[in-house]
Amino acid sequence: MKRILVLGSGGQIGSELTMRLREVYGDGNVVATDINPERLTKEIQQTGPTAACDATKAEEIAAIVDKYKIDSIYNLVAILSATAEKNPMLGWNVGMGALLNCLEISREKKCALFTPSSIGAFGDTTPLNGTPQDTIQRPKTIYGVTKVTGELLGDYYYERFGVDARSVRFPGLISNVTPPGGGTTDYAVDIYYAAVKGEDFVCPLKPGTMLDMMYMPDALDAAINLMEADPSKLVHRNSFNITAMHFDPEEIYAEVRKHKPDFKMTYEFDAIRQKIADSWPNWMDDSCAREEWGFAPKYNLQTMTVDMLDKLSKKFGK
Ligand code: NAD
Ligand code: AKB
C-alpha cells in the first residue's frame, strides 16, 4: 500500500483529494498537511494523520517523509494566477520553493511526485483552439512562468535522476467543498454559490471568454489514475493537457438559469483576470492523456450543474 504525503491539503483540491486518497489507500496511509493546518476540514482532521508543514522549508517536508515512511507526494502548494499577479515574488517563491523541495526530497528518498500544472502554462502566442499537447508555451503571468518551469523541472528530474514525477495541466476546477483560492477561473464556482444563496452575481470576465473547465470528481480521478498509470505507456509526463468541458460566462449562466430562472448575472470585468483569461486556451486537445493513461472525464456542463446545485443546496440548507 502506498504511503502518501499531501502538501496543501487545506485548499480547493487538497480538501477533496486527501479524502479520496484515504478512501483508496487507507486513512492511516495519507498524511494531510498545510502551512495553515486550521484550514484542514474537520473530516480530514478526524480521519487520519495531519501535520503543519511549510512546503518552502525542505526540513519540514523531509521530517514528515521520514516519520511516516512516505513513498508518494502530492504537492498542491501554489499561489493561484490572479493572486500571484498582484504579488509576483510571493507566487514565484511559494510555487518554486515548494516544488524544488519536493523534487530534491523525492530524489533523495525515492518518492513519486504529483504536482499540478495548469492551462496557465500557455500564453497568447499558443494556438488557443485545440491547444496541442506539445506547443508554444510563453505565458505572460508569473503563475504561468512557475508552471512552465515546474513542467521542465519535473521532466529534468525524471530524465536526470529517475524521479517518478508526473503532472496534468488542470483547467479551471469547479467544486463545492472548499472555495477556490484566488484564480482566474473562480467565477465558474462563485456563480453556483450565488445562485444557491439567492444572490445576484457580478461576473468578472466578459461574455465570450471561453475557458476549459472540469468538475472536481473528474480532477481527483485524473490525479490518482495518472499516478497509478503504467510508466511504460507514458510518452509524456510533465505535463498532460486534460479537460472536460469549455464554456463562456453566458453558457454557464444559461445552464444555471434552467434550474434557477430568477437568478441574475451582470458583468463588471476585472482587468487582471480578463487579461489572463484572454491569454489561456479556449479549449485544449487532451488526446495524449486519453491515449497514454485512459483519461476519461464523466461530467459535462449539464450534469455538473445539477450536482453542484444539489450539493450546495444541501450545504446551505436551501
Ligand atoms: P488553493 O489555493 O486552494 O490551495 C493551496 C493550499 O496551499 C492552501 O490551503 C494554502 O494554505 C496552502 N499553502 C500555501 N502556501 C503554502 C506553503 N508554503 N506550504 C504549505 N502549504 C501552503 O489551491 P488549489 O486550487 O487547491 O490548487 C492546488 C494546485 O493545483 C496548485 O498547484 C494549482 O496551481 C493547481 N491548479 C489548480 C486549479 C484550480 O482550478 N483549482 C487549476 C489548475 C491548476
Ligand atoms: C487559476 O485560475 O489560477 C486556476 C488555474 C486554472 O490554474 N484555477
pLDDT digits (tens, 9 = 90+) for 253-309: 999 999 999 999 999 999 999 999 999 999 999 999 999 999 999 999 999 999 999
> pLDDT of 67-117, one tens digit each?
999 999 999 999 999 999 999 999 999 999 999 999 999 999 999 999 999
Nearest residue (by CA) to ligand 2, atom 1, is 183
Tell me, using a 6 A CB cutoff, whether residue 205 lines ligand 2. no
Tell me, using a 6 A CB cutoff, whether residue 120 lines ligand 2. yes
Choose, from 74, 143, 253, 299, the residue flagged as catalytic.
Answer: 143
> pLDDT of 156-182, one tens digit each?
999 999 999 999 999 999 999 999 989
Q: Give the residue, out of 80, 94, 210, with the most ligand 2 atoms within 8 A of its beta carbon, to mutate for a pocket test.
A: 80
The pTM for the full model equals 0.98
Domains delineated in the chain: 4-171+215-241 (3.40.50.720), 172-213+244-315 (3.90.25)
State the distance from the centre of ligand 2 to the C-alpha of 279, rounded, in angstroms: 12
Q: Is 143 tagged catalytic?
A: yes
Mean predicted lDDT score pLDDT of the chain? 98
SS3 assignment for the chain: CCCEEEECCCCCCHHHHHHHHHHHHCHHHEEEEECCHHHCCHHHHHHCCEEECCCCCHHHHHHHHHHHCCCEEEECCCCCHHHHHHCHHHHHHHHHHHHHHHHHHHHHHCCEEECCEEHHHCCCCCCCEEECCCCCCCCCCHHHHHHHHHHHHHHHHHHHHCCCEECEEECEEECCCCCCCCCCCCHHHHHHHHHHHCCCEEECCCCCCCEEEEEHHHHHHHHHHHHHCCHHHCCCCCCEECCCEEECHHHHHHHHHHHCCCCCEEECCCHHHHHHHHHCCCEECCHHHHHHHCCCCCCCHHHHHHHHHHHHHHHCCC
Q: Give the residue, out of 80, 190, 216, 304, with the most ligand 1 atoms within 8 A of its beta carbon, to mutate for a pocket test.
A: 80
